[in-house]
A and B are shown apart, each in its own frame.
Chain A
């Protein structure tokens, strides 16, 4: 089939070479010759900011960082970040009233992140798997082994010891009872805080090399001669003396705090019948719930309204779930003993418009005719005050420096008062805040004198609030964070679909009200990870890489694990900042 049209030519077997015209776009040059970054009038800056949870946490927990580690299943990392600021994660994870959750930005999208339960999960993992304290990152100071006497092994004293030891002080604790833990030990019932958990966390602190003298009350002579043996004092005696009501027949009323302590130390007989618990604070709640577990039918009697109760809101909810009645707006006026118990005389109260000096709702009697109720026993849970022996001593003189959680008196040696006797809110977390603030204040004083104390404390504030950070004091990376507290409008919600809050749940009511078994369960690993993923990690770069992925100029690179912005090409478009889900990139105007 040879074509006749074909031009006859001799074969050129070696002749055919690929020398046809071939002009295509191919170049070793690059558009990078144009350094388009000169167009920029604003530049992105990686700047971690303050999360509202952290700013509101008295202990200054670095919550976004903790959750970041947890969400990446790095529980060791999460624990390290927690213990940096808080020596009691497993305890706080149970008893803290979690201001972090009230402040949580996620609350405006669906529900706050259950950080308290996450904290407990991490704290429990550290206990069950015996995570070591990372001595290197924790112990960072050397205060010349100045000896500090700490009065009271409650949460404030133990925290002070924990932080001071890390800063190089040498601590001895003097405790009047035979056990450490203070109110955590004898004031909080086991159904909220199992003592094995508390003891483990205390032992972890003691193992740092802290000596505790038990059954050792400090007398006036000790205080006046302390400067011979110690370089400083931290005094956290706690509120050990129950308040009285000053009503007729008050001697018939049992002290709720004593009951709580007895439960911890003795075999208690079972109770029965209707028992009144007077008060609206956490003590009243704990007393009522403990009585329920002893077999009684407790009733809480409170002079204000339920919403005015100083007890933590969740505690009130849990109490009512257990079938404990709360009688509001009734104030006791007298107690009479009868054959089968006691008559409690109560007058009805009503709120009045103007508030009291403390900002709380005031109530006034509406009818002076008392009504009567009969109870088999009556307990008081209205709170406690400082023992008289400390009162004169703790009253701050003019010269004292009043910090948020500590009063700093400079006598022969510095005397620092902390814990419940100073704090306006009596909580474990506030006591931790006292211990941390005392450590920072004392360390600042030793390093730079009395004038530096306030300044140093100010530097350590989170979001310019009351919460302090030990990491900042220790010159950790957290010191670089901006004080700006991230708001919910600064979160890019495109990256967060609405998902309901996960909670670990409670053991069955039948079991819980008949024993002192811990009521609240803990997260499974999967649930903890899932709940951690709900956290926005406000203002905290968690290396999500969005900025790098979205940068239209490919100006963001990762070198040696750190992200770099190539300002030769960054046009300052701000896409990285907008696409950062959590406001960890700030656009700064070029000067």
Chain B
């Protein structure tokens, strides 16, 4: 049944339905609503989880790392500076191969102080060994959170469920909240392969000298590759119960499209509308939505884009001194093609700047009207404000 709820609470509801055992968290805008609701569920008995209040995000992750090491299902959530503070423990969670699920609300990093939408925080954690799943709306946030627990526990990797600040997190919209029994059908109790046990003591995560460390890293890589292999099977399971699926990527009217826009998060949704509106005006482009950033589904993306002439990657993030991060990854994926499409990279929507239908149109029109992209990334909607 559908309820009008906000994106943050879609994640909170999913965590409750997933029968999570231990939750820790520290408030930070715009994530706070997620943890706030869960702490209420724990306090009023709706959830049987142990809620561990802590003094920082680093400790929040450390708390769930400790809990997950004992073989229980865990969750925490954060944003921006909080995620940055967690950085060290993110490495730990992945290196320890703990299936922790993290709700991450994309928010810019300061200074200038900014509480709004920006992907820099989660993308900065690219190399920590976490699976990253980006969501377009409240329903996808709900579904992806449930999905994340199943996936994490199958591949022994932590999963970050990423939603846009405000455009998803604080936006109320109809979301189908599944029945508990259906969730239980999809998500069996967690059966850990490794769990600390006082009755059978052993050492975990101790010194890994050069003769084993590299193999451990390779094992994480294998688990990421395995994730790519089984992703669709897990989606099959999900689909069978809930009748929804999202894919690691989604191709929206890409067949025979000369121009394909590559989008992530809530901008995809707006792009869908623009695509429909422009089609009425005789303009045609495809949209490739990337949901899974890690593992990066390069082969699938390559397949989706290889027939296009031009690809326009819309990045709501920026790697200083280089370019938009999704564009870099897409370009990398297309390198296997001898005659691949030209890749344009547009930067928009940083720090909560709105990505309006007009911006999407501009991305399309600028790509349509030029044969080659300008050198580097193109920043949209900025005005010259260099001088203080």
Residues of chain A having any CB pair with chain B under 8 Å? 1-7, 9-13, 15-18, 20-30
7 more contacts with CB within 8 A, not counting A5-B301, A27-B203, are: A10-B236, A13-B240, A16-B233, A24-B97, A24-B205, A29-B203, A30-B203
User: How far in angstroms is the closest Cβ of chain B from A17?
Assistant: 8
Partner of A6, one of B201, B222, B244, B247: B247
| CB contact under 8 A between A4 and B251, given known A11-B237, A22-B193, A25-B216 | yes
Flag if B249 contacts A3 (CB, 8 Å). yes
When distances are taken between beta carbons in the complex, the residues of chain A under 8 Å from B297 are 5
Within 8 Å of chain A (Cβ to Cβ): is B54?
A: no
Decide if A9 touches B236 in the complex (CB within 8 Å): yes
Nearest neighbor of A4 in chain B, beta-carbon distance: B251
Which of A3, A4, A11, A17 counts the most chain B CB atoms within 10 A? A3
- B206 contacts chain A at the CB level, 8 A cutoff: yes
**Residue of A2, A12, A23 most packed against chain B (CB within 10 A):** A23
Q: A5-B300, A22-B223, A25-B208 are in contact. Are A12 and B202 (CB under 8 A)?
A: no
- Closest chain B residue to A2 by CB distance? B245
- Tell me which of A5, A15, A17, A30 contacts B303 (CB under 8 A): A5
Q: CA of A15 to CA of B300 in the docked complex: distance in angstroms?
A: 23
In the complex, whether B333 has a CB less than 8 A from a CB of chain A is no
Nearest CB to that of A23 among chain B residues?
B219
Nearest CB of A to B199, in Å: 13
Residue contact B250 to A3, C-beta cutoff 8 Å: yes
12 contacts between A and B (CB under 8 A): A1-B244, A1-B245, A3-B251, A5-B247, A5-B250, A18-B191, A20-B223, A21-B222, A22-B223, A23-B212, A25-B204, A29-B203
Question: Which of A10, A25, A30 has most B Cβ within 10 Å?
Answer: A25
Question: What separation, in Å, do the CA atoms of A575 and B218 have in the docked complex?
Answer: 41
Chain A interface helix/strand/loop/mixed: loop
In the assembled complex, the CB of B125 is this many whole angstroms from the nearest CB of chain A, namely: 20
Interface residues of B (CB under 8 A from A): 95-97, 153-156, 191, 193-194, 201-208, 212, 215-216, 218-219, 222-223, 226, 230, 232-237, 239-240, 244-251, 254, 297, 300-301, 303-304
User: Could you tell me if B194 and A24 are in contact, using CB atoms closer than 8 angstroms?
Assistant: yes
Which single residue of chain B is at the shortest CB-CB distance from A21? B222
Q: Are A25 and B205 in contact (CB under 8 A)?
A: yes
Q: What residues of B have a CB within 8 angstroms of the CB of A22 in the complex?
A: 97, 156, 193-194, 219, 223
Contact B240 A11 (CB under 8 A): yes
Residues of A within 8 A of B254 (CB): 4
Task: Collect the chain B residues with CB atoms within 8 Å of residue A4's CB.
Answer: 250-251, 254
Contact A6 B235 (CB under 8 A): yes
- Contact: B194 with A6, CB < 8 Å? no
Pick from A3, A12, A25: contact of B207, CB below 8 A: A25
Pair A24/B95 contact, Cβ less than 8 Å? yes
Residues of B within 8 A of A17 (CB): 154
* Assembled-state Cα–Cα distance A70/B239 (Å): 73
CA distance A22 to B227 in the complex (A): 13
- Give the residues in chain B near A20, CB-CB below 8 Å: 154-156, 222-223, 226
Q: A5-B247, A7-B232, A9-B232 given as contacts; is B223 within 8 A of A21 (CB)?
A: yes
Please give me the residue from chain B that is nearest to A10 by CB atom: B236
Chain B residue contacts of A29, Cβ below 8 A: 203
Q: Judge whether A24 and B251 touch: CB under 8 Å.
A: no
**With A2-B245, A3-B245, A6-B247 as given contacts, are A28 and B300 in contact (CB-CB < 8 Å)?**
no
List, in ascending order, chain A residues with CB within 8 A of B202's CB: 26-28
With A and B bound together, what is the CA distance between A20 and B224 in angstroms? 9
Docked complex Cα distance between A438 and B247 (Å): 99
**A17 vs B239: C-alpha distance in the bound complex, in angstroms?**
18
Pick the 7 closest A-B CB pairs, nearest first.
A3-B247, A23-B219, A21-B222, A11-B236, A21-B219, A5-B300, A20-B226
A26 contacts B203, CB within 8 Å? yes
A18 (CB) vs chain B CBs: closest residue: B154
Residues of chain B with a CB closer than 8 A to A18's CB: 153-156, 191, 193
Q: Provide the bound-state CA to CA distance between A10 and B248, in Å.
A: 17
Q: Given the complex of chains A and B, what is the CA–CA distance between A30 and B303 in angstroms?
A: 50
Q: Which residue of B lies closest to A9 (CB)?
A: B232
Which one of B202, B233, B234, B303 has the highest number of Cβ atoms from chain A below 10 Å of its Cβ?
B233
Please tell me if the beta carbons of A16 and B249 are within 8 angstroms of each other in the complex. no
Residues of A within 8 A of B249 (CB): 3, 5
Complex contact A1–B247 (CB within 8 A): yes
A21-B219, A23-B215 known; A6-B232 Cβ under 8 A:
yes
Give the distance in Å from the alpha carbon of A239 to the alpha carbon of B202 in the complex.
Answer: 76
Please give the distance in Å from B323's CB to the nearest CB on chain A: 24
How close is A286's CB to chain B, nearest CB, in angstroms?
Answer: 65
Q: Are A13 and B219 in contact (CB under 8 A)?
A: no
Q: Which residues of B contact A23 (CB under 8 A)?
A: 212, 215-216, 218-219
In angstroms, Cα B250 to Cα A205, docked, is 99
Bound-complex Cα distance A23 to B237 (A): 27
Docked pose: A29 CA to B212 CA in angstroms:
15
Is A1 within 8 A of B236, CB to CB?
Answer: no
B190 to chain A: closest residue by CB: A18
- B182 CB → nearest A CB, Å: 14
Chain A residues, CB < 8 A from B236 = 9-13
Q: For residue A9, which residues in chain B have a CB less than 8 angstroms away from its CB?
A: 232-233, 236
Q: Which residue of A lies closest to B217 (CB)?
A: A23
Nearest residue (CB) in A for B204 is A26
Complex: A2 Cα to B153 Cα, angstroms? 24
Hey, which chain A residues are within 8 Å of B304, CB to CB?
Answer: 5
Cα–Cα distance between A235 and B244 once the two chains are bound (Å)? 108
Bound Cα distance from A9 to B244, whole angstroms: 16
Kindly list chain A residues whose C-beta atoms are within 8 Å of the C-beta of B248. Answer: 3, 5-6
| Bound: A10/B240 CA distance, A | 11
Task: Report A181 CB to chain B, min CB distance, Å.
Answer: 64
**Complex Cα gap A298–B208 (Å):** 86
